[in-house]
Structure 1
Amino acid sequence: MQLTPHFTLAELTASARARAAGLDNTPPPELVPRLVRTAEMLERIRSTLGVPVIVTSGYRGRQLNQLVGGVTSSDHTQGHAADIIAPRYGTPYEIAKALAPLVSVLQIGQIILEGVKGKQWVHVSTRVPDKPANRVITITDKGEQLGIQVLP
């Protein structure tokens, strides 16, 4: 199912971990409109960066979220979030630095530069966090910091 010109439902629900574990990662029908909003946000990000955006993790059912170690309140489980990279643009740090000043313009509710267990990606969500300061943060193995920080 094509959600937007460049993003499909299959792309936002694909998971090698779910397949390997025999989990069905199909979202309930009531979450599809949220996934459309997430895909629309990804379209705005793609247009801004001027290069394709690769979704490394989108919707995660509760079982998959638990399997990958996601927090129980993860926006991924509600269809609000995607983890992305855009190698043709640059590193996750460069992507996050470019997008952070544009969160309101691009209607990004939250952006997180994540550098955990030797991997790096950018988490984007349509949901605005309760604390405005948490709209732009960096998370590493050492914890959480406000703003986009250089990753170790």
Structure 2
Amino acid sequence: MRHLTRTAVMLCAALGLTAAIGTASAAPGAPSAGARQVAVPVLVDCFWHPQVRPSAFVLACGDGNSRLTSLHWNHWGTRSARAGGVNVVNDCVPYCAAGHFHPYAVKVRLDHPKPWKKHPQVRHYSRMTLTYTGARPDHFPRVVTYPLWD
């Protein structure tokens, strides 16, 4: 009987706590997960997920032959973001499936924030500029600018 009483008291306490938390999160003025706006723009990945300060990012969504890794962000603001990292690129020699990946040090800049078509209340960076700081892939200029998907 004593065990049953203790279980009933614990259950009531847990239900009371759950009700209190639910009421507080539904209170007017408390931001809900769906209504929360991101103050700074996001970077939209290949799977249409918004990211802030990702450590990696795929540039070639179709085949994965170019990606950014080891990203370290030193700025993520309302107008631009900057990071250092590595662009890992497949040389596709003799063809992409048999090619080899090579790392190249880059500086990354994101800019031109605008409303994201999928979620217009969220702003996303629409342009990425890579500056190769040393070696770079064959036939690549030192600075490459890509439009980012919307």
- Give me the TM-score of the superposition, normalised by structure 1: 0.28
Higher share in helix: 1
Q: Please say which structure displays the higher CA radius of gyration.
A: 2
- Give me the TM-score of the superposition, normalised by structure 2: 0.28
Structure possessing the higher relative contact order (Cα contacts under 8 Å, 6 or more residues apart): 1
Higher share in strand: 2
